[in-house]
Amino acid sequence: MITESVLYSVLLLTLLGGTAAAILYFVSKKFYVYENPLIAEVEDILPAANCAGCGSPGCKAFAEKLVNTEDISDLFCPVGGNDVMKLVAELLGKEVAEKDPTVAVMRCQGSCDVRPKTTEYQGPKSCAISAMIYSGETDCQYGCLGDGDCVIACKFDAMYMDKNTGLPVIITDKCTSCGACVEACPRDIIEMRPKNKRDLKIFVSCMNEDKGGIAKRACEVACIGCSKCDDICPKDAITMVNNLAYIDPVLCTLCRKCVPVCPTHSIIETNFPPPKVKNKKKVKENVKPLKSKSDA
């Protein structure tokens, strides 16, 4: 009795399994979708980060776009960079453009000590929402809100929120310049600037467009629009728009003449060796404000 029931069960299940397998096989053959095998090959070359830095919703979609578009000279994967694009170009036999590497740069130094809070915000901790409700907890309506939308947007762990300063910090070695943080910031404080071999950068770390006195009262290291940097720049790389200085990264030759003349130390230089001449103050990358105000 027992062996019979075991035999029947085994036979029945085998039959069921076989039928199911046959159905699946026929369906997979009938509804087969042809896909260009090149797409899979290109996808293997791409870095599989799925960060949407290229503009497509994922590496597979970008691979499809690369294979199906005739002219791919304006398509670029920021995470893979020039190396990956060269490999893709070789595989597909198409031309790609070479782009200079860039890195994300945070253009606000308004930490808690130099930019005092005048109101307390209560509500969801999201920069996009608080920017919509009001101008921020300090008197500067252009500066960093400190709620960390950019840190959440970064999929490469290249950003973290510094608890002491209340500002986000970008780890340049991990930054793949995918652009997610630039999108996430509602005030366009993060910018992509060129990255050179030793990661030397000079930029104006401020977005404040208010007139001098008002800007300075809100934040001690704000750009007051005095134009001293513009006057001294030998290459005319600095423009003043709306009381705010901007250094054009293309024209700038990193001569550092502008850094010491700024009265509020608003211009930042990163990774430069200490100056050989006397008394020039240098500011390191993770910015601490130069004047530390003692607590009230």
Partner 1 sequence: MLKTFPKGGVHPHENKLTSSKAIKKLPIPKFVYVPVSQHIGIPSTIVVERKEKVEIGQVIAKSGGYVSSNIHSPVAGTVTKLDKIIDSSGYKKQCIVIRTDAKNSSNYKEVEFPLKEKIELSPGEILQQITDCGIVGLGGATFPSHVKLIIKEDKKIDYLIINGVECEPYLTADHRLMLEKANEIIVGIKILMSALHVKKVVIGIENNKKDAVAVFKKLLDKKDGIQIAALRVKYPQGSEKQLIKAILKREVPKNGLPLDVGVIVHNVGTVFAIYEAVQYNKPLVERVVTVTGKKLKNPSNYWVKIGTPVKDLIAEVGGLPEGTRKIVNGGPMMGVAIKNTDIPVTKGTSGILVISEEEASRKRVENCIRCGECVFVCPMGLEPFLLMNLSEKGHYDRASIEDITTCIECGSCSYVCPSNRPLLDYIRFGKNIVKKLETVKN
Partner 2 sequence: MSIPSIIISASPHVHSDRTSKKIMYDVVIALIPAFLVSLYVFGIGALIITSVAVISCLLFEYLIQKYLLKTSATISDGSALITGILLGFNLPSSLPIWMIIVGSLVAIGIAKLSFGGLGFNIFNPALVGRVFLLISFPVQMTMWPTPLDNQTSISDAVTGATPLGIIKEGLMFGDTMTKISTKIPSIIEMLLGVTGGSLGEMSALALIFGGLFLIVRKVISWHIPVVMITTMILITGIFWMIDPQQYANPLIHILSGGAILGAFFMATDLVTSPMSKKGMVIFAIGIGLITVVIRLFGSYPEGVSFAIIIMNAFVPLINSYFKPRRFGNKIRSKIM
Interaction site with partner 1 (CB under 8 A): 118-119, 122-124, 126, 128-129, 132-136, 141, 210
> CA 117 to CA 125: how far, in whole Å?
16
Q: How far is the CB of 287 from partner 2 (least distance, A)?
A: 18
Rule CB under 8 A: say whether 118 interacts with partner 2.
yes
Q: How far is the CB of 149 from partner 1 (least distance, A)?
A: 12
Place of tokens 């003449």: 257
Q: How far is the CB of 32 from partner 2 (least distance, A)?
A: 33
Place of tokens 């076989």: 18
Q: How far is the CB of 222 from partner 1 (least distance, A)?
A: 14
Which position among 4, 120, 173, 236 is part of the footprint of partner 2 (CB under 8 A)?
A: 120
* Contact set for partner 2, span 244-273 (CB under 8 A): none
Contact 218, 264 (CB under 8 A): no
SS3 label, residue 71: coil
Burial (CB count within 10 angstroms: exposed 0-12, middle 13-18, buried 19+), residue 168: buried
Q: How far is the CB of 221 from partner 1 (least distance, A)?
A: 20
Q: How far is the CB of 124 from partner 1 (least distance, A)?
A: 5
> Which string of x and - marks every residue 126-165 that binds partner 2 (by CB under 8 A)?
-------xx--x----------------------------
Q: Which of partner 1, partner 2, none has residue 117 at its interface (CB below 5 to 8 Å by kind)?
A: partner 2
Q: Which of partner 1, partner 2, none has residue 112 at its interface (CB below 5 to 8 Å by kind)?
A: partner 2
- What DSSP character marks residue 46? S
> CA 282 to CA 113: how far, in whole Å?
19
Which position among 19, 68, 119, 253 is part of the footprint of partner 2 (CB under 8 A)?
A: 119
CA dihedral 9, 15, 20, 22 (to 10 degrees): 160
CA dihedral 213, 219, 225, 231 (to 10 degrees): 120
Contact 76, 46 (CB under 8 A): no
Nearer to partner 1, 118 or 227 (CB): 118
Stretch that binds partner 2, among 35-43, 117-125, 223-231, 276-284 (CB under 8 A): 117-125
> CA 200 to CA 272: how far, in whole Å?
6
Nearer to partner 1, 162 or 183 (CB): 183
Beta bridge partners of 204: 267
Contacting positions for partner 2 (CB under 8 A): 112, 116-123, 133-134, 137, 295-296
